[in-house]
């Protein structure tokens, strides 16, 4: 049953149709508008609509009525529903202006399908929470229709991959980014704690830093050190940013992993040898001038597979680290599915780990699988 109504606003017909198709597949009720003016008319004309709009996805760069002008007029008319903005480019001044208008999230174009789904999932849950708070006390509770497992969009890098995530309802901005480098590949996973406008701004800074680092020659330690400085400089108060930086050196057949606030375990290798297990953690970014990242390095052979498991917890927690029996069982699971695809192996491993993911509490868990080039 379609219980959450999304209004998509974009003057690019192809982009609008793509976003609508994605959300309709996820069982949202979707309306579209080709301009800011038609979006306002849709918000005002509630009698002709199938249901009230719960949240909006708005393109920033529209002709006639821009995204910011639409937001300004919406707020003036009293429409305070959650809004996510998508755009091809936004300066720092633009981001500050969006925050001033109470934008709930921000996403660059071209959109990546699964990142878009993750962000919309968070906005939709916020809309669902607001609707529940405003509903009469005797109203029937609404069931959330949203799926909470996602995959990482690494398709543009040409790497076979899989990513399983167990998302809770905690207030966090979750980022997954990847890029091709001269020597191989960089992958960054990050969680920014908090749900206020500053937390959103910190997540934008993290993404902007990663985009700029695509053209810079930074070591893994330099990357995490500079990212830490960006978080410290951009925050008015202390913000914990959990981050996991993975660098794959294709020619040298070597992997580097630097964790910050992510207690994690990593299995690398297949074939006759048992997969190698590494356990590592580090202090979250944004807490000290020098991040406490421990560099983990390991060799790999062409066609080896990396499976990284992490359950994100406060610093110092051991939740998410598998005990010896669990780790042995996971090794056997990896070996027994050695001829399967990365997706099939990840699904089997995740199914085996899922009883441990959460330990009876609502937590985030992630399993990343990659086939190494």
pLDDT tens-digit profile of 66-92?
888 898 888 888 888 889 988 776 666
Q: Which class would CATH give 155-371? A: alpha beta
Q: Which residue has the higher pLDDT, 373 or 321?
A: 373
Domain ranges of the chain: 5-134, 155-371
Q: Give the torsion through C-alpha atoms of 128, 133, 138, 144, to 10 deg.
A: 20
The span from the CA of 165 to the CA of 151, in Å, is 8
Tokens of 273: 């040898």
Report the candidate in 284, 283, 266 with the shortest Cα–Cα distance to residue 275. 266
pLDDT in tens, 22-66: 888 777 889 999 998 999 988 887 665 567 889 999 998 887 788
pLDDT in tens, 145-165: 333 333 344 656 777 887 776
Pair 211, 173: CB distance under 8 Å: no
pLDDT in tens, 181-193: 999 999 988 877 7
Pair 206, 244: CB distance under 8 Å: no
Tokens of 26: 């996820």
CATH number attached to the domain at 5-134? 3.40.50.2300
* Distances from the Cα of 136 to the Cα of 139, 140, 238, 240, 334, angstroms: 5, 9, 37, 37, 50
- Answer yes or no: is pLDDT of 226 > 90: yes
* pTM passes above 0.85: no
The span from the CA of 98 to the CA of 170, in Å, is 23
The tokens 């053209």 sit on which residue?
Answer: 215
Task: Look at residue 280 and give its three-state secondary structure.
Answer: strand
* Distances from the Cα of 58 to the Cα of 17, 23, 61, 192, 195, angstroms: 13, 14, 9, 23, 20
Pair 364, 312: CB distance under 8 Å: yes
Provide the pLDDT for residue 147: 33
Provide the pLDDT for residue 219: 94
pLDDT in tens, 234-284: 777 777 888 889 999 998 999 998 888 766 666 766 544 566 677 777 788
- Answer yes or no: is pLDDT of 320 > 60: no
- Answer yes or no: is pLDDT of 324 > 80: no
């Amino acid at each position: 049953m379609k219980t959450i109504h999304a209004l998509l606003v974009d003057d690019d017909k192809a982009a609008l149709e793509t976003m609508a198709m994605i959300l309709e597949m996820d069982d949202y009720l979707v309306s579209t508008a080709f301009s800011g003016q038609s979006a306002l008319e849709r918000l005002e004309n509630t009698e002709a609509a199938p249901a009230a709009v719960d949240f909006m996805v708005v393109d920033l760069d529209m002709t006639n009525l821009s995204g910011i002008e639409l937001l300004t007029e919406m707020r003036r008319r009293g429409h305070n529903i959650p809004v996510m903005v998508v755009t091809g480019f936004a300066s720092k001044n633009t981001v500050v202006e969006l925050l001033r208008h109470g934008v709930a999230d921000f996403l660059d174009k071209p959109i990546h399908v699964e990142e878009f789904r993750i962000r919309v999932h968070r906005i939709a849950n916020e809309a669902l929470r607001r609707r529940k708070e405003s509903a009469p006390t005797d109203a029937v509770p609404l069931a959330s229709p949203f799926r909470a497992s996602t995959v990482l969009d690494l398709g543009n890098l040409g790497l076979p991959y899989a990513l399983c995530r167990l998302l809770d309802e905690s207030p966090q901005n979750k980022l997954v980014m990847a890029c091709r480098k001269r020597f191989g590949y960089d992958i960054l996973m990050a969680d920014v704690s908090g749900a206020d406008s500053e937390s959103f701004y910190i997540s934008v800074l993290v993404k902007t830093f990663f985009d700029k680092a695509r053209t810079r020659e930074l070591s893994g330690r330099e990357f995490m050190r500079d990212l830490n400085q960006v978080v410290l400089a951009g925050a008015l108060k202390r913000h914990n940013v959990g981050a996991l930086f993975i660098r794959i050196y294709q020619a040298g057949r070597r992997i580097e992993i630097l964790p910050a606030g992510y207690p994690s375990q990593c299995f690398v290798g297949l074939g006759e040898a048992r997969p190698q297990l590494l356990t590592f953690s580090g202090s979250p970014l944004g807490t000290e001038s020098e991040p406490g990242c421990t560099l983990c390095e390991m060799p790999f052979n062409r066609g080896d597979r990396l499976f990284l498991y992490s359950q994100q917890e406060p610093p110092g927690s051991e939740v998410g680290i598998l005990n010896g029996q669990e780790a042995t069982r996971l090794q056997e699971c990896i070996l027994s599915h050695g001829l399967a695809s990365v997706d099939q192996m990840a699904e089997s491993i995740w199914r085996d780990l899922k009883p441990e993911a959460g330990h009876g509490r609502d937590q985030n868990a992630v399993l990343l699988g990659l086939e190494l080039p």
